[in-house]
Amino acid sequence: MQIVRTLAQLRQVLDDLNSKGASLGFVPTMGALHAGHLALVEEARAQTGVVICSIFVNPLQFNRAEDLAHYPRHEEEDLALLQPTGVDLVFMPEVGDLFGGGWKPSVYDLGGLDTVLEGAWRPGHFQGVAQVVGRLLDLIPCTDLFMGLKDYQQCLVVQRLLDTRKGRQAVLHRRPTVRDAMGLALSSRNLLLSAEDLERARGIARTWRWMKEALAAPPSGAVPPSPSALLSPSALIEGGLHRLEQEGLRPEYLSLVRDGTLDPWSGPADDGLPRALFAGWLGSVRLIDNELLAP
């Protein structure tokens, strides 16, 4: 496993790796790695000849300075976790190197995918994501890109970015969310939660179960009260929000979209499947999660 910190070193190592002529898998991360990240690396290992993982806390995608300042950084542990995965190269650039040396931000038309849901609550976030992914793809000519559905909207934004880039296009592999035994989606931000808040965070998974059950067989006496009303998206959202609040979370949004899009899911008659998207707070930590509610 080679560890590369500068662009100059990266170019050199890539020349060697490219000469092998193998497919090149790339897993971009912000570090504080957990089993969700490692599942992406393992999938890349299984599907491509050479695997590169980047660790870079991208300041451009943080819309709150405090969030950036507190974002967990565990370089030594990350490298120890990556070592046994068989990843070929870990790229860990400095901000000034990646976004320096005459680099200029591009203007990305993300087709409005960047201004709703997460984009509405975190203005500029997805433009920041697009800048870093675009920059990394310019440097790392991968054939395959591996990302997690934990960041569902990010997957759609990155696919859009790939579609609009000139030249050979990398294939985006969207991998399922890795959860703990209680259903909590693994996240670097979970490291910032107290034991009590971790338990509250598991209320998100309990809410997913509740919403699935409500869709399959509307329970009587639940909130909202009428079983037939429960099947309407707005009533399901209302019930889900109520549940999340009972669990001690402060939701920013709970939305139902047609899976594969950000379009609203219109109810059981919709020809698409419902995917629920959530963002909310526990103390000063903001969490996101999403789940396909179909069986």
Q: Does 150 bind ligand AMP (CB under 6 A)?
A: yes
Q: Does 30 bind ligand AMP (CB under 6 A)?
A: yes
Site for ligand AMP in 155-174 (CB under 6 A): none
Q: Which is nearer to ligand AMP, 11 or 70 (by Cβ)?
A: 70
Q: Does 187 bind ligand AMP (CB under 6 A)?
A: yes
Task: To the nearest 10°, report the CA torsion of 208, 214, 217, 223.
Answer: 150
Could you tell me the smallest distance in angstroms from the CB atom of residue 188 to ligand AMP? Answer: 5
Q: Does 144 bind ligand AMP (CB under 6 A)?
A: no
Which of these, 191, 169, 199, 187, lies nearest to 289 by C-alpha position?
A: 187
Q: Does 51 bind ligand AMP (CB under 6 A)?
A: no
Q: Does 201 bind ligand AMP (CB under 6 A)?
A: no
CA distances from 193 to 58, 197, 201, 279, 283 (A): 22, 6, 9, 15, 8
Q: Which is nearer to ligand AMP, 122 or 175 (by Cβ)?
A: 175
DSSP one-letter string for 255-293:
EEEETTSSSBP--TTSSS-EEEEEEEEETTEEEEEEEE-
In contact, 89 and 55? CB cutoff 8 Å: no
**Would residue 34 show up in a list of annotated catalytic residues for this protein?**
no
Q: Single out the residue of 186, 249, 282, 285 in contact with ligand AMP (rule: CB under 6 A).
A: 186
Task: Quote helix, strand, coil % in the chain, to nearest 5.
Answer: 45, 20, 35
Q: Does 178 bind ligand AMP (CB under 6 A)?
A: yes
Binding residues (CB under 6 A) for ligand AMP: these are 29-30, 36-37, 39-40, 147-148, 150-151, 175, 177-178, 185-188
Annotated catalytic residues are: 37
